[in-house]
């Protein structure tokens, strides 16, 4: 008789869990949203179509979808790195905001330097500023035991107060009402995908998708390698999973916590690359617009895995963009309803993710005629 | 004398600002003590605020509004329970989902019920909880010190403020002096110990979530029918997150949690008071920096004096039977 | 607190206190219990033995309602019962002490005992009643526990008493104990057995799961053997032998004591002088300990757990900082040099360390076996290529460990937590031994491991000794210390009580020394 | 044929103040002319350009946007659609021919309500509650303070800002608390320039039996007897003007300043607050108003 654990003939294949289940969950979210839309007196099928078209229908819509996804990828990755190290970083909003300061300053003061150089400096600037905003809570957690949930929330508030001050009293373009900085020199703006395509004679409507999307993808790859393929990632995960074992293995949880929170903050800090350097071309008030919080849900839905985060970011990018198109085309389905739909999607795909699992397993076994007996408990 | 007056008014402000934090933080205390992390305090409170205001407006009774708020918050808590306790879903994701959903839900229904945009109509007169003047407050008013404190700080709040302050000792009593409390503390610490003792882990967690819903509902009603006068989109303004921070700050214990809430509120009250006032030695400080004070103070206190806070061991982990 | 009517134990033809008929249990595709039949006579002590993973804990968890069976019948005193939750089991008079304690660490003993049977809405009254009842139980059974101590501060032996008290307090007539002796010292085991026998005298029925055949022989009336999910044999204890049981369990002949030649000690590898260790609470745990370990010998440290052995091991492996004293490794004092006395540097310098608690320290349970198999060695060049780790090399190395140490299942990409305790232990041992240390520190080499695996682990350690390595073993298991060590050091209350060659050691002398009495000195005095 | 559209800023169209006023302008135009309009509410920065462009692409030919934050986006999109008429409120754009921009002299209106506050105050202390500490809000406060000092140079003005995140505009309980703290310090009139947060300020004043001053729209009706007046900023007029001029063909690009002189800003008088403001007070305020319009009384704007 074979050892029971080593060969598992009746095991449910991975794609059932990784493909079918999420799709079912998404459908459930859409069904509930559809019911809401019906209650409001609109045609849910039509609304769904508008939403999908709005997210993927045209080149510029795809551009917007990917643009939102870009920001979410940065924050999601940032959250994931800290999470693997066992720390809960809900400071993505503030780290992104302060990171934007670093990016903005790089762009403002590099004048007419070519963009690739500015971008490198900006990446450093964003990473350093965001990193510092993660390092301090990390340091306080490691050395003083201060819980990161509290400190990072506080740092979000501190960041917004600081940025309000800087934008209103220091960086503001003199003589204007809007609390925003000077516009970056054209050379220090990130090329948008549209401009790149124009060089190849392809003309798509304007949209903010820019080369930082590539940077975000590179970050996905880098974070994947960092977490799963390097000894530093190994140490990070060891600390996150079992601090005692890490100490036993000669790994210092203190150092790991500080480093991981710094990296986490740095990744969140790169969000400004997309929003400021790629789209707004100046530092504006509250440009993070809550994405730092949604990034947490993105990371958790993506199981803190870069590939999962990429998918979850795309889903959310699509919801943001499709949702805004929805409220544009069907004004009754206003932005509040779109927010409800986003919440429903998180609820069904993230929180209620297991609700169809038993049924799905049962169905699979039925379909493949597994001989494993069902729980026929004695009455 | 004048100084005392100043202090009393700042403290009274602390009490008013602290009330929703206290209610939410204690709500979080019950759910987290049972092992369910609650990031959804913000949403539950906001939902409660919406229902309280709507029902109070429609019926003219803040009490019915309060009931509706409690009912609605409990319903959301049950959804929370269904996702996290029954289906073992991720507790943090559920909380985030609740927050986002409710943020859109209130305005959507406000719009369809009142056609006023994401608001309810303003509540007036009997639609709100009135401030209560305690017996003798007026008589004692002019007694130095004691009278000032009694009249200015202790008397003159609405009923929900007193409820919030009563909830703290009550929950201490429940937590440490009753069977329910014993089981609650056990289930957040080691659910399998509770399981083998013949107590339903899920049952305990659902019960804790009901209490959680009740308290969040009261907090919501406070926002829209007692402290405020009507529901406005996003009116919880991050108080749920702050309450969560206070709960952690207070190490999941009622007394210290109360203290943490009051510290946050006090720092905020002081912040309000010193905005636009030249500070000694420093002079005029931009208001943004003054507004930072509560947050910086919190970080300093946390890092300097409080140290590590370790929560209930099983919080955040779905209960699966194991050997 | 309902309890089933208790049948007098004297009646010969009494119905079984507990009977199982054709019970089956699946975990996914794993048939953990297969048509289990079992009858336990009232007023007897019934042993259940079997290899790691044979399904013992599972079948008892079913009886206790912690798991539910997929099919089969459970009868209590001849009546079929439906047990779907521990509540039903308690109502049927069944109590259980689990393999891994089910206590709330930060509760007092009293709180743990009354959890679930508080006797009223308010605690105070129930607590008072429980306190009185607890005193009665303590008196009656000699189970001494201070009701107001917090459980996490108590030694495991006492925690076990709390578990037993819990079951008795609930009026259990049938008491199930799952590997109760795995973490106990000999004295504590004796104490436990005394209590169990006393319970039997009073007509209670006891079912005990254990890996220790000596205990089976000494304690039980009947014994049932499980293998791979099935009941393979039932015996009257009086009519069987250790050897037969071992063979029934493992399916082959087992050496109960590994043969070992005399040691050839060489140069001193580790020398400790006047070492003191103070723990996080400021308590001095290790007090002026001096000892040495030479190449080619195994030194055993015996002692009741909690007498400083753990902290000694932690200090030697660089996890805890010593307060004073010398640690000479290969002649060099490293005690005062944090650059040398830390877990990472020590490993590089050739010190291997098998921690006492494999699950909390030795492995990361959520890691793959291959990842756990390099814990602490993860930055060796062999496992890294530039900045990336070399997965193939890591998996190949783990595969090698798995084959050499007969780890089951045999997949390096299985999650560490999915291995049974014994197999987890083998993985840790393989890692520390195969990195070929000059000095190996081992805490509790075979805790909870079945006899087949013990045989293997012991022979591997002796092989290592014979290859000229220095080995320091800390174990609370006297049998183990005596069969492995060449020299035995006994610790009590942080001090070294004395040291003696293994050949001069017997249970009586060691037992005295572990209680802090050095017979030699006493004789002299 | 006009096909109008409007884009609201982040506060949303029902913010009871600025955006709502714009909405009222659009509604009025729709009612008067029978022409329907498109609308959109911004929720993040990237939507600004997108919304403007969407409107233009779908055939809207006169597009109004509320809020200075739309400026950059509008410049960009206006260049893409030279035939579409764009209007922006609260921003001064003079160099794009197809943009018509409106700014308001909030400081002038605020000056007058500051006078009313000072005239009404018994304690010589008045308050101001702003949303976020940004130039626009400082401009309200700056004018207000000048008005107060114009009446009584010794009077004290308490200035408080609600917060530094967008929640600052939607936090009525915080607004109430700020107002209460100002009352505790002796203020008896408080002016709210804080969006929906201001509702809390007005409520607190009504609860405490003190006076408040509303902003943007006429908020006198919210608590009659307590709301002293409102500093109305006729965003609705701007939006209406934008659409109407496009309809009758008189639309032209450039910058228009709305002030007391053209009733772009004013203080609100109606039946709700008539009993609160004595003829003597009214006379003083109207006198100052005339002087400001005549240019003999200068109100300094806040310059960032
Ligand atoms: N919770 C569980 N999930 C999945 N499989 C389980 C679970 N519990 C037990 N098993 C399976 O049941 C089988 C029997 O496990 P059990 O714990 O009963 O063994 P055991 O005989 O008690 O071993 P040991 O002597 O090591 O304690 C194992 O092979 C394991 O695969
Ligand atoms: N959750 C699980 N999923 C799959 N297989 C499991 C799981 N838990 C245990 N197993 C398998 O069960 C077998 C034995 O498990 P078990 O935990 O009973 O071992 P154990 O020897 O009793 O451990 P210990 O010595 O700590 O009591 C192993 O083959 C292991 O792979
Ligand atoms: Mg077992
Ligand atoms: Mg086991």
Is the model more confident about C515 or about D34?
Answer: D34
Q: pLDDT tens for residues A309-356?
A: 999 999 999 999 999 999 888 888 888 888 898 899 889 988 888 888
- Greatest alpha-carbon pair distance for chain B in Å reads 67
Place of tokens 């429903």: A344
Asked if D146 and D114 touch (Cβ cutoff 8 Å), the reply is yes
Pocket lining: C55 vs ligand 1, CB cutoff 6 Å? yes
**CB contacts, 8 Å: B245 with chain A:** 149-150, 153-154
Please report whether residue A23 resides in a domain: no
| HSE-CB of B172 using CA atoms within 13 angstroms | 12
Token pair in block for residue D85? 């008429």
Using the predicted structure, report yes or no on whether residue C142 has a pLDDT greater than 80: no
Is the model more confident about C13 or about C383?
Answer: C383
Q: How far apart are CA B312 and CA B33, in angstroms?
A: 6
C524 falls in which pLDDT band (50, 70, 90)? very low
Residue of the CA atom closest to atom 14 of ligand 1 = C55
Please report whether residue A115 resides in a domain: yes
What confidence score (pLDDT) does residue C520 get? 72
What confidence score (pLDDT) does residue A5 get? 36
Chains C and D touch (3+ CB pairs under 8 A): no
Q: pLDDT tens for residues C293-326?
A: 999 999 999 987 778 888 999 999 999 999 999 9
Q: Does B308 touch chain C (CB under 8 A)?
A: no
**CB contacts, 8 Å: D6 with chain A:** none
Q: What's the gap in Å between C53 CA and the centre of ligand 2?
A: 6
Element (H, E) at D52: helix D47-57
Atom of ligand 2 nearest to the CA of C414: 31
Average pLDDT over residues D151-170: 90
Atom of ligand 2 nearest to the CA of C423: 21
pTM of the predicted structure, to 2 decimals: 0.89
Q: How far apart are CA B38 and CA B30, in angstroms?
A: 10
Q: Tell me if B299 and A140 make a contact (CB, 8 A cut-off).
A: yes
Average pLDDT over residues B238-267: 93
- Starting from the CA of residue C26, give the closest ligand: 1
Please report whether residue A37 resides in a domain: no
Q: How far is D155 from chain B (nearest CA, A)?
A: 15
Q: Tell me if C115 and B199 make a contact (CB, 8 A cut-off).
A: yes
Peptide bond between residue D189 and the one before it cis (omega within 30 degrees of 0): no
Q: How far is B206 from chain C (nearest CA, A)?
A: 17
Please report whether residue A271 resides in a domain: yes
What confidence score (pLDDT) does residue B155 get? 82
Place of tokens 């109502």: C91
Please report whether residue A304 resides in a domain: yes
State the Cα torsion C215-C217-C219-C221 to the nearest 10°.
Answer: 140
Using the predicted structure, report yes or no on whether residue C20 has a pLDDT greater than 70: yes
Neighboring chains of A (3 or more beta-carbon pairs < 8 A):
B, C, D
Using the predicted structure, report yes or no on whether residue A2 has a pLDDT greater than 60: no
Is the model more confident about C189 or about D146?
Answer: D146
Q: How far apart are CA A261 and CA A91, in angstroms?
A: 10
Q: pLDDT tens for residues B64-86?
A: 999 999 999 999 999 999 999 99
Give the gyration radius of chain A's Cα atoms. 23
Mutation to probe ligand 1, out of C24, C27, C180 (largest number of atoms < 8 A from CB): C27
Domain C18-250 - what CATH class?
A: alpha beta
Element (H, E) at D258: strand D254-258
Q: What is the DSSP letter of B304?
A: I
Using the predicted structure, report yes or no on whether residue D212 has a pLDDT greater than 90: yes
C13 falls in which pLDDT band (50, 70, 90)? low
What confidence score (pLDDT) does residue C52 get? 79
Please report whether residue A372 resides in a domain: no
What confidence score (pLDDT) does residue A374 get? 45
Q: Which residue intervals of C421-506 are DSSP H helices?
A: 421-434, 451-466, 478-484
Of C76, C50, C43, nearest to C196 by C-alpha is C43
Q: How far apart are CA C288 and CA C308, in angstroms?
A: 11
Cβ contacts of B312 within 8 Å, gap of 6 or more: B32, B33, B34, B35, B185, B188, B189, B252
Asked if C126 and C110 touch (Cβ cutoff 8 Å), the reply is no
DSSP labels, B69-100? HHHHHHHHHHHHHIIIIIS---HHHHHHHHHH
DSSP labels, D181-237? HHHHTT--EEEEESTTHHHHHHHHHHHHT-EEEEEES--TTTSTTTEEEEEEE-HHH
Q: How far apart are CA A339 and CA B105, in angstroms?
A: 8
Q: pLDDT tens for residues C458-490?
A: 999 999 999 999 999 998 888 889 989 999 999
Q: Tell me if B309 and A145 make a contact (CB, 8 A cut-off).
A: yes
Pocket lining: C310 vs ligand 2, CB cutoff 6 Å? no
Using the predicted structure, report yes or no on whether residue A6 has a pLDDT greater than 60: no
CATH number reported for the structural domain that contains residue A82 in this entry = 1.10.3470
| HSE-CB of C197 using CA atoms within 13 angstroms | 11
Q: pLDDT tens for residues A132-170?
A: 999 999 999 999 888 898 899 899 999 999 999 999 989
What confidence score (pLDDT) does residue A9 get? 42
Please report whether residue A371 resides in a domain: no
B322 falls in which pLDDT band (50, 70, 90)? low
Average pLDDT over residues A18-28: 87
Q: pLDDT tens for residues B217-227?
A: 999 999 999 99
Q: How far apart are CA D198 and CA D188, in angstroms?
A: 16
Please report whether residue A327 resides in a domain: yes
Of B223, B244, B242, nearest to B234 by C-alpha is B223
Interface of C with A in 341-360 (CB under 8 A): 342-347, 353, 355, 360
**CB contacts, 8 Å: A350 with chain B:** 89-90, 93-94, 96-97
> Out of A230, A241, A379, whose CB is closest to C389?
A230
Lowest mean pLDDT among C236-240, C448-452, D213-217: C448-452
Paired with C501 in beta bridges are C487
Q: What residues does each domain of chain C span?
A: 18-250, 359-435
How far from the centroid of its chain's Cα atoms is residue B242's Cα? 9
Token pair in block for residue C373? 């198999």
Q: Give a three-class secondary structure readout of A12-42.
A: CCHHHHHHHHHHHHHHHHHHHHHHHHHHHCC
What count of other Cβ atoms lies within 10 Å of the Cβ of residue C522? Answer: 9
Is the model more confident about B9 or about A237?
Answer: A237
**Most A CBs within 10 Å: which of C19, C375, C380, as the mutation test of the A interface?**
C375
Question: What is the residue range of A47's domain?
Answer: 43-331
Average pLDDT over residues D192-216: 92
Using the predicted structure, report yes or no on whether residue C143 has a pLDDT greater than 60: yes
What count of other Cβ atoms lies within 10 Å of the Cβ of residue C28? Answer: 14
**CB contacts, 8 Å: A324 with chain D:** 43, 47, 50-51
Interface of B with C in 196-255 (CB under 8 A): 196-200
Q: Give a three-class secondary structure readout of B201-245.
A: HHHHHHHHHHHHHHHHHHHHHHHHHHHCCCCECCCCCCHHHHHHH
**CB contacts, 8 Å: B178 with chain C:** 121-123
C12 falls in which pLDDT band (50, 70, 90)? very low
What is the chain B residue with the closest CA to C87?
B198
Q: How far is D286 from chain B (nearest CA, A)?
A: 30
Q: What's the gap in Å between C508 CA and the centre of ligand 2?
A: 36
Using the predicted structure, report yes or no on whether residue B305 has a pLDDT greater than 90: no
Of C410, C460, C450, C453, nearest to C430 by C-alpha is C460
Give the gyration radius of chain D's Cα atoms. 19
How far from the centroid of its chain's Cα atoms is residue A214's Cα? 15
> Out of D133, D160, D177, whose CB is closest to B13?
D177
Give the gyration radius of chain B's Cα atoms. 20
Average pLDDT over residues C374-392: 94
Using the predicted structure, report yes or no on whether residue C8 has a pLDDT greater than 60: no
Q: pLDDT tens for residues A58-80?
A: 899 999 999 999 999 999 999 99
Q: Does B180 touch chain C (CB under 8 A)?
A: yes
Q: Tell me if D44 and A289 make a contact (CB, 8 A cut-off).
A: yes
Tell me how many domains chain A contains.
1
Token pair in block for residue B53? 């205001």
**CB contacts, 8 Å: B242 with chain A:** 153
Q: What is the mean pLDDT of chain C?
A: 88
> Out of B17, B233, B237, whose CB is closest to D12?
B233
How far from the centroid of its chain's Cα atoms is residue D85's Cα? 23
Asked if C297 and C265 touch (Cβ cutoff 8 Å), the reply is yes
- Starting from the CA of residue C420, give the closest ligand: 2
State the Cα torsion C4-C6-C12-C18 to the nearest 10°.
Answer: 30
């Amino acid at each position: 008789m074979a050892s029971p654990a080593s060969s598992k003939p009746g095991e449910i294949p991975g794609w059932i869990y990784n493909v079918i289940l999420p799709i079912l969950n998404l459908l459930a979210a859409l069904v509930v949203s559809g019911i809401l839309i019906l209650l409001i007196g609109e045609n849910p099928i039509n609304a769904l179509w508008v939403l999908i078209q709005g997210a993927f229908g045209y080149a510029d819509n795809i551009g917007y979808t990917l643009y939102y996804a870009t920001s979410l990828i940065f924050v999601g990755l940032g959250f994931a790195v800290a999470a693997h190290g066992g720390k809960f970083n809900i400071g993505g909003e503030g780290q992104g905001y302060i990171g934007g300061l670093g990016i903005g300053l790089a762009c403002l003061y590099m004048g007419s330097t070519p963009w690739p150089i500015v971008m490198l400096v900006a990446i450093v600037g964003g990473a350093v500023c965001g990193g510092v905003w993660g390092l301090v809570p990390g340091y306080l957690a490691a050395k003083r035991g201060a819980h990161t949930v509290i400190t990072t929330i506080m740092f979000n508030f501190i960041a917004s107060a600081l940025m309000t001050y800087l934008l209103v009293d220091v960086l503001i373009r003199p003589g204007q009402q809007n609390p925003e900085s000077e516009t970056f020199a054209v050379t220090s703006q990130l090329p948008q995908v549209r401009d790149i395509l124009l060089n190849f004679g392809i003309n798509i409507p304007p949209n903010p998708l820019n080369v930082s999307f590539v940077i975000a993808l590179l970050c996905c790859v880098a974070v994947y390698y960092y977490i799963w393929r390097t000894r530093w990632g190994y140490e990070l995960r060891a600390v996150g999973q079992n601090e005692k074992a890490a100490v036993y293995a000669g790994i210092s949880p203190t150092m790991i916590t500080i480093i991981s929170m710094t990296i986490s903050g740095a990744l969140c800090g790169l969000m400004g690359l997309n929003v400021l350097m790629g789209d707004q071309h100046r530092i504006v008030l509250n440009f993070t617009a809550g994405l730092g919080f949604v990034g947490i849900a993105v990371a958790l839905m993506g199981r803190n895995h870069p590939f999962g985060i990429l998918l979850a970011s795309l889903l959310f990018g699509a919801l943001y963009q499709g949702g805004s198109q929805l409220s544009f085309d069907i004004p009754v389905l206003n932005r509040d309803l779109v927010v409800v739909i986003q919440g429903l999607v998180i609820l069904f795909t993230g929180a209620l993710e297991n609700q169809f699992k038993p049924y799905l397993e049962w169905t699979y076994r039925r379909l493949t005629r597994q001989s494993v007996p069902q729980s026929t408990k004695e009455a | 004398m004048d100084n005392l007056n100043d202090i009393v008014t700042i403290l009274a402000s602390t009490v008013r600002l602290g009330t929703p934090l206290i209610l939410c933080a204690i709500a979080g205390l019950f759910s987290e003590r049972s092992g369910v992390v609650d990031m959804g305090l913000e949403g539950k409170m906001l939902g409660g605020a919406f229902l309280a205001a709507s029902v109070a407006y429609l019926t003219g009774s803040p009490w019915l509004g309060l009931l509706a708020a409690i009912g609605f918050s409990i319903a959301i808590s049950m959804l929370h329970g269904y996702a996290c306790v029954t289906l073992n879903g991720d507790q943090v994701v559920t909380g985030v989902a609740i927050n986002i959903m409710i943020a859109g839900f209130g305005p959507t229904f406000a719009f369809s019920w009142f056609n006023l945009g994401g608001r309810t109509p303003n509540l007036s007169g009997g639609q709100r909880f009135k401030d209560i003047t305690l017996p003798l407050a007026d008589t004692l008013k002019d007694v130095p010190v004691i009278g000032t404190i009694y009249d200015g700080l202790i008397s003159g709040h609405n009923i929900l403020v007193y409820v919030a302050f009563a909830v703290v000792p009550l929950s201490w009593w429940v937590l440490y002096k009753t069977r329910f409390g014993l089981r609650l503390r056990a289930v957040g610490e080691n659910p399998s110990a509770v399981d083998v003792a013949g107590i339903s882990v899920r049952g305990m967690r659902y019960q804790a979530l009901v209490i959680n819903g009740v308290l969040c509902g009261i907090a919501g009603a406070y926002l829209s029918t007692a402290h405020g006068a009507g529901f406005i989109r996003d009116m919880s303004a991050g108080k749920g997150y702050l309450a969560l921070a206070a709960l952690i700050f207070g190490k999941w214990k009622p007394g210290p949690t109360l203290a943490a809430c009051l510290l946050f509120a006090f720092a905020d009250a002081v912040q309000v008071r010193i905005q636009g006032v030249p500070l000694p030695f420093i002079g005029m400080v931009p208001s943004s920096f003054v507004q930072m004070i509560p947050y910086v103070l919190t970080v300093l206190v946390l890092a300097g004096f409080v140290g590590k806070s370790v929560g209930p061991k099983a919080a955040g982990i779905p209960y699966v039977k194991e050997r | 607190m309902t309890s089933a009517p208790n049948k007098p134990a004297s009646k010969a033809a009494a119905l079984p206190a507990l009977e199982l008929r054709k019970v089956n249990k699946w975990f996914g595709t794993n048939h953990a219990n297969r048509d289990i039949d079992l009858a336990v006579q009232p007023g007897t002590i019934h042993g259940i033995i079997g290899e790691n993973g044979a399904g013992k804990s599972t079948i008892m968890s079913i009886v206790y309602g912690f798991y539910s069976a997929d099919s089969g019948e459970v009868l209590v005193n001849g009546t079929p019962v439906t047990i779907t939750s521990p509540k039903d089991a308690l109502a049927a008079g069944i109590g259980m002490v689990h393999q891994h304690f089910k206590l709330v660490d930060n509760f007092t003993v009293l709180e743990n005992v009354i959890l679930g049977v508080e006797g009223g809405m308010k605690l105070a009254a129930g607590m008072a009643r429980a306190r009185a009842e607890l005193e009665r139980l303590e008196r009656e059974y000699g189970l001494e526990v201070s009701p107001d101590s917090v459980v996490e501060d108590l030694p495991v032996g006492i925690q076990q008493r709390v578990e037993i008290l819990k079951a008795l307090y609930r009026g259990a007539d049938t008491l199930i104990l799952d590997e109760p002796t795995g973490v106990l010292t000999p004295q504590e085991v004796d104490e436990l057995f005394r209590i169990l026998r006393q319970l039997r005298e009073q007509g209670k029925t006891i079912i005990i799961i254990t890996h220790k055949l000596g205990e089976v022989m000494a304690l039980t009336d009947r014994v049932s053997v499980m293998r791979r999910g099935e009941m393979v044999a039932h015996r009257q204890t009086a009519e069987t032998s250790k050897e037969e049981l071992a063979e029934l369990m493992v399916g082959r002949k087992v050496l109960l004591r590994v043969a070992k030649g005399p040691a050839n000690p060489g140069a001193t590898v580790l020398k400790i002088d006047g070492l003191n260790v103070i723990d996080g609470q400021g308590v001095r745990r290790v007090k002026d300990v001096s000892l040495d370990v030479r190449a080619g010998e195994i030194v055993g440290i015996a002692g009741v757990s909690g007498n400083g052995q753990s902290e000694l091991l932690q200090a030697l492996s660089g996890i805890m900082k010593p307060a004073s004293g010398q640690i000479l490794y290969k002649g060099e004092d490293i005690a005062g040099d944090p650059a040398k006395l830390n877990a990472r540097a020590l490993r590089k310098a050739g010190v291997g360390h098998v921690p006492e608690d494999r699950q909390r320290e030795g492995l990361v349970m959520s890691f793959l076996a291959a990842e756990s198999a390099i814990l602490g060695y993860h930055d060796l060049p062999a496992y890294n290529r530039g900045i990336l780790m070399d997965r193939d090399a890591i998996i190949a190395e783990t595969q090698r460990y798995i084959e050499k140490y007969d780890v089951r299942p045999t997949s390096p990409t299985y999650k560490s937590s999915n291995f049974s305790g014994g197999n987890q232990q083998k993985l840790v041992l393989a890692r520390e031994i195969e990195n070929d240390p000059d000095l190996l520190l081992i805490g509790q080499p075979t805790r909870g491991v079945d006899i087949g695996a013990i045989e293997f682990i012991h022979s591997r350690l002796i092989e290592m000794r014979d290859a000229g390595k220095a080995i320091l073993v800390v174990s609370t298991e006297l049998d183990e210390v005596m069969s492995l060590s060449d020299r035995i050091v006994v610790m009590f209350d942080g001090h070294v009580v004395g040291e003696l060659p293994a050949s001069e050691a017997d249970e009586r002398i060691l037992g005295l020394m572990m209680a802090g009495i050095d017979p030699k000195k006493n004789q002299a005095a | 044929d006009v096909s109008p559209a409007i884009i609201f800023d982040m506060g949303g169209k029902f913010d009871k103040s600025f955006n709502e006023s714009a909405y009222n302008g659009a509604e009025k135009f729709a009612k008067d002319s029978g022409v329907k309009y498109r609308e959109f509410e911004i929720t993040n920065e990237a939507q600004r350009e997108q919304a403007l462009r969407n409107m233009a692409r779908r055939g809207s030919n006169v597009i109004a946007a509320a809020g200075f934050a739309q400026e950059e986006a509008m410049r960009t999109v206006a260049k893409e659609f030279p035939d579409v008429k764009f209007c922006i409120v609260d921003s001064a754009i003079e160099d794009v021919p197809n943009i018509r921009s409106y700014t308001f002299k909030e400081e002038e209106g605020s000056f007058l309500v500051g006078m009313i506050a000072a005239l009404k105050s018994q304690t010589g202390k008045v308050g101001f509650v702003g949303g976020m500490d940004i130039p626009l809000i400082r401009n309200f406060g700056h004018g207000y303070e000048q008005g107060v000092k114009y009446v009584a140079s010794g009077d004290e003005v308490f200035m408080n800002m609600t917060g530094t995140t967008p929640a600052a505009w939607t936090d009525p309980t915080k607004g109430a608390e700020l107002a209460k703290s100002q009352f505790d310090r002796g203020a008896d009139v408080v002016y709210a320039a804080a969006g929906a947060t201001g509702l809390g300020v007005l409520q607190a004043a009504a609860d405490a039996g003190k006076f408040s001053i509303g902003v943007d729209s006429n908020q006198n009706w919210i608590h009659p007897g307590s709301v002293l007046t409102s500093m109305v900023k006729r965003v609705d007029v701007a939006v209406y003007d934008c659409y109407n001029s496009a309809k009758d063909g008189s639309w032209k690009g450039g910058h228009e300043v709305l002030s007391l002189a053209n009733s772009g800003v004013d203080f609100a008088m109606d039946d709700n607050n008539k009993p609160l403001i004595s003829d003597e007070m009214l006379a003083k305020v109207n006198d100052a108003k005339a002087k400001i319009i005549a240019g003999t009384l200068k109100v300094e704007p806040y310059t960032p």
